[in-house]
Amino acid sequence: MRSRQRMFAAVMRLLLKCLRLGRRRRFRLVRQVEQLWHYGHLCLHSLLYNSFTNGDVVLDSLFEPVYWLVDHVTRWFGVVFVALVIGLTSSVVAIVYICLLPLILQTYTPAWICWHLAYGHWNLIMIVFHYYMAITTSPGHPPQAKNDLIGVSICRKCIAPKPARTHHCSICNRCVLKMDHHCPWLNNCVGHYNHRYFFSFCLFMTMGCIYCSISGWDMFRDAYAAIERMKLLEKERLQVAANQTYYQTPPPTFSFRQRAFHKSVVYLWVLCSSVALALGALTLWHAALITRGETSIERHINRKERQRLQKKGKVFRNPYSYGSWDNWKVFLGVDVPRHWLTRVLLPSPHLPHGTGLSWDLPPCVMEQRVPLLAI
């Protein structure tokens, strides 16, 4: 009996030792896995560590393939957009010369004929000149020699000093001086040297479309009514022809030339009215930005900076704003009163103030009215 008890106790002790040994091995294995996990996490963190990393950087990294696709599509479709602008503008001009101008010369008084000829051709010249200059003029880029370049920050794409108001264009893959945005309708960036051409093109194109819409309103109503009459008579003609023989079918009521004329007038008015609304809103937006002395990119930057300083009880002032009137004079390059005629109302290839690398007080501004930062 005692021998059985001793044997049972020995078996139980052996079983407990095995359990303890298995538990130790299991704990040791778990500890090794944890050590490997922490070691791998430390290696990965050391390879990817960046003190500037935040949520925005992570999102930019995740959306980088989408940005790459959009940039390349915009780059290649820029040529298509430019051809579309030229084609639509040429079609409107052709309709005006072929269809409307003979009608104007036959029905309008000499005073109105002179007005339409003078204003129409002046507006057309301004549109063509500023669009050509906007697509062919470089917006300006920082120089390659970085020794004498005053940089406010470092471009993380170019890894080079970036002057004030300069931003990197992912489509052009270069830094642009005083960058406003990349315009696919120009297939070019809007920057320091072609910003005035871009805005002037938008302004004169809007004026031209409004002029065509207002001047052609009566013609549009007559042409639209004529087209509706064509559809009605065509329907009646087909109903009559269905009950008659082939030789008794009546001839068409309207000729091909009349159909083309009425449809061209409707096309011109609808296109000009649509462009006037869309481009007019864009022109007003950029006019407000010019009045405040900032670009499209700077608007977002200044708004965030204004909110940040407001929380600290400070007031942000735009360092590149000289007042509404002086901002327009600086933007248009008006130094003396006669420049309003020679540089604004007439085609002028004059350069903007400054080089885009530094922003000194322009000569047309008598005094700097606003401090850089009011605290």
**Residues belonging to the active site:** 183
In Å, how far are 129, 272, 287 from 284, measured between CA atoms?
A: 21, 17, 5
Q: Which two tokens stand for residue 197?
A: 């051409």
d(CA 104, CA 110): 10
Residues facing 373 on adjacent strands = 316
At 155 the three-state DSSP class reads: strand
Give the DSSP letter of residue 246.
Answer: G
State the Rg of the chain over Cα: 36
At 320 the three-state DSSP class reads: coil
CA-CA-CA-CA dihedral for 226, 228, 231, 237, to nearest 10? -70
**Please, how many CA atoms are within 13 Å of residue 32, restricted to the half-sphere of its CB?**
6
Angle at 245 between CA 242 and CA 251, to 5 degrees: 80
d(CA 179, CA 163): 11
At 158 the three-state DSSP class reads: coil
Angle at 113 between CA 280 and CA 274, to 5 degrees: 20
In Å, how far are 28, 208, 272, 294 from 300, measured between CA atoms?
A: 56, 31, 32, 10
Residues facing 155 on adjacent strands = 160
**Please, how many CA atoms are within 13 Å of residue 340, restricted to the half-sphere of its CB?**
4
CA-CA-CA-CA dihedral for 208, 213, 219, 221, to nearest 10? 170
**Please, how many CA atoms are within 13 Å of residue 125, restricted to the half-sphere of its CB?**
11
Tokens 């002790």 correspond to what residue? 13
Residues facing 189 on adjacent strands = 182
Q: Which two tokens stand for residue 189?
A: 């960036």
**Please, how many CA atoms are within 13 Å of residue 245, restricted to the half-sphere of its CB?**
2
